[in-house]
Amino acid sequence: MTKNTVTVIDKIGFHARTASLFAKKASGFESAVRVSFNDKTVNGKSTLAIMTLGVKSDTTVEISAEGADEEEAIATLTDYVANNFNS
């Protein structure tokens, strides 16, 4: 398992649009992807699950991945969040 932390800088946090963008990007990887915040961990490929975390702007989350492409998944998804969901 590979994991990394990143700060969500979007002015609203993980809301419907950003959660959807993240889940879509995460779904492109074979590895299982998880997002953790405040002792809660959810499926990173599920928009609704990510939204239930209640992540606000300037909050740090942990992204983890486990599988064949876990290192690529973590690098790509961490950069994606750090760059405010811009490729």
For the stretch 72-86, pLDDT in tens is 999 999 999 999 998
Whether 87 has a pLDDT exceeding 80, the answer reads: no
How far apart (Å, rounded) are the C-alpha atoms in residues 81 and 79? 6
pTM, 2 dp: 0.95
Is 49 catalytic? The answer is no
DSSP state of 70: H
Q: First CA to last CA across the chain, in angstroms? A: 24
All structural domains of the chain, each given as residue ranges with its CATH number in brackets, are 2-82 (3.30.1340.10)
- Which of these is catalytic: 2, 3, 10, 15? 15
Which residues, 6+ apart, have CB-to-CB distance to 39 below 8 Å?
A: none
CA-to-CA dists, residue 32 to 6, 11, 24, 47, 82, angstroms: 18, 27, 13, 14, 20
Q: Per residue in 40-55, pLDDT tens?
A: 999 999 999 999 999 9
